[in-house]
Structure 1
C-alpha cells in the first residue's frame, strides 16, 4: 500500500519539481504513533528555501486532492533533506564525490558493516571511500548493491 502511495506521489510531484528546477530526493509514507506522514524531500544546488518548499507543497496538495490516493488522514511535509541527506541513487554518489559520508552495508566488508570516510569515486557501481584506521588512511571499495544505507556525514 505505502509503496503505491510513494510511487504515485513521485509521479505527481516530479513535473512540479522539474518546472521549478529542483531535485526530487525522496518520498516516504510512514506511520508515526497514530499519525501518517507523506514526506517529500526536495533540493537544489546551494540548498532550498522555505518558500520553494511551500510552493511544492501547495501544488502537490492540489494534485493529491484530485487523485485522492490515500484513504487515511495524513500530514504532507515538503522539506530539504538536510545536511545529512541520504544517498540513495547512483547519481547521489556521483554528485557527492569529495564529501565525507557514512555507509552501512548489508554484510561485512573487511570485517565491518559501517564506514565513515571520504567519498573519492563512484565508478562501475563501486563506491570508493578513504577511511581512517587508527593513524593511517585506507581505501575501501563497496559495491553499490551491498549498501543498506548511506548519507552525508557532518564532521566537526
Structure 2
C-alpha cells in the first residue's frame, strides 16, 4: 500500500496545485473493508500571503482570525487559510481522478479533505522554518542525553539542525533529568514532529 499511497500523493499534489493549495499529508486509516483516505491541505504560499494581506488591509474582519493571531502573538502565515469551498473543490476533482486512474483503496473507502489542524505534523525543514516560535513535540530516532521525546519552543532552524527552548513547555521526567534548558536536534534524527496547540 505504501507504493500506492505515493502514487495517490502525486495525484493529490497535482489536483491541489491546480486549486492553489498544497498537500501537507496523506493518510490511509481503518480496515481493509472500510478505510478512510484523508488528505490534509492548506492554501499555497501565495494564497496564504494574500489572506494575510487582506487581514492587514482590513478586508477580513479581525474576529474571523483566532485571537492569538489577531493580537500578533503568533504569525498569520502559520494559518492554513483552508475553506470549506477549497475542501469541496479538491474532493470533487481528486475523487474523480482516483476513480479514472483506479488509484483508490480496494473496497469501500471514505475520502476526507481537511486542514492539518492545530497539532499538524512537521516533516520538512521548510515546515520548521515556517513554524519557528511555535511549541513543538519531537521524537528522535536516536536518543539525545538519554531521551528521545522533547517538547519546547522552536527557536532556531539551521540547515541541518533545530534548537528547542525547553523552558517553554513541561518536560517528561527523562528530559527534566538532563538539566538542560535548550536542546539541538539534527533534522536527520527526527522521527516524528508536530505542533503543540497553544490556547
- Compute the TM-score of the two structures, normalised by the length of structure 2: 0.71
Residue correspondences, number = 154
Structure 2 residue ranges without an equivalent (≥5): 49-78
CA RMSD between the two structures: 2.0
Q: Equivalent of 1:73, from 82, 96, 108? A: 108
Q: Which has the higher helix share?
A: 2
User: CA offset at residue 57 of structure 1?
Assistant: 0.5
User: CA offset at residue 92 of structure 1?
Assistant: 1.0
Hey, what does 2:22 align to over in structure 1? 23
- In 2, Cα distance between the equivalents of 1:81 and 1:130? 24
- Find the structure with the greater CA-based Rg: 2
Is the counterpart of residue 138 in structure 1 residue 181 in structure 2? yes
Structure 1 residue ranges without an equivalent (≥5): none
- In 1, Cα distance between the equivalents of 2:125 and 2:151? 18
- In 2, Cα distance between the equivalents of 1:129 and 1:32? 37
Is the counterpart of residue 148 in structure 1 residue 191 in structure 2? yes
User: CA offset at residue 154 of structure 1?
Assistant: 1.4
- In 2, Cα distance between the equivalents of 1:72 and 1:147? 34
Superposed counterparts of 1:1-156, under 5 Å: 2-32=1-31, 34-44=33-43, 45=48, 46=79, 47-69=81-103, 70-132=105-167, 138-156=181-199
User: CA offset at residue 137 of structure 1?
Assistant: 7.2
Q: Which has the higher strand share?
A: 1
Give every structure 1 segment of 4 or more consecutive aligned residues whose post-TM-superposition deviation is greater than 3 Å: none
Query: Conserved in 1, the CA contact under 8 Å of 2:33 and 2:108?
Result: no
- Compute the TM-score of the two structures, normalised by the length of structure 1: 0.89
- In 2, Cα distance between the equivalents of 1:4 and 1:33? 16
